[in-house]
Amino acid sequence: MNTKEILEKAKPIIADKLGINEDEVLESKHFINDLGADSLALVDIIMSLEEVFSMEIPEEDSEKIQTVGQMVEYIANHVK
C-alpha cells in the first residue's frame, strides 16, 4: 500500500475522531496544533488506525508521530 492509498483510508477515521472535515486532513497538518487533537484523541486515532491496518504502533514510536504525513509514512513503513 502506498502513502496515497493509506492517506485515503485514514482520512475518514481521523476526520471522524476529531469531528472535522475530511479535506482538512492534509499531510502537512499537525494533529495537536492544526487539527485540534489532544493527547487522548491522538491515542484514539492511533488505536483505530492500528485496527484498520492490522498493526501495532508502540508508544515510543507513537510519541514521534505529530503530523498526518508522519502518521501515513509510519504506517507505510510498518504495514505488512
Known catalytic residues? Answer: 38
Q: Which has the closest alpha carbon to 46: 8, 26, 4, 18?
A: 18
Residue number, 1 or 47, with CB nearest to other proteins: 47
With beta carbons less than 8 A apart as the criterion, state whether 30 and 16 touch: no
Residue labelled with grid coordinates 509514512 = 73
Contact pattern from residue 8 through residue 47 relative to other proteins, giving x for each residue in contact according to CB under 8 A and a dash for the rest: ------------------------------xxx-xxx-xx
Residue number, 50 or 73, with CB nearest to other proteins: 50
2 φ, ψ to 5°?
A: -85, 170
- Binding residues (CB under 8 A) for other proteins: these are 38-40, 42-44, 46-47, 59
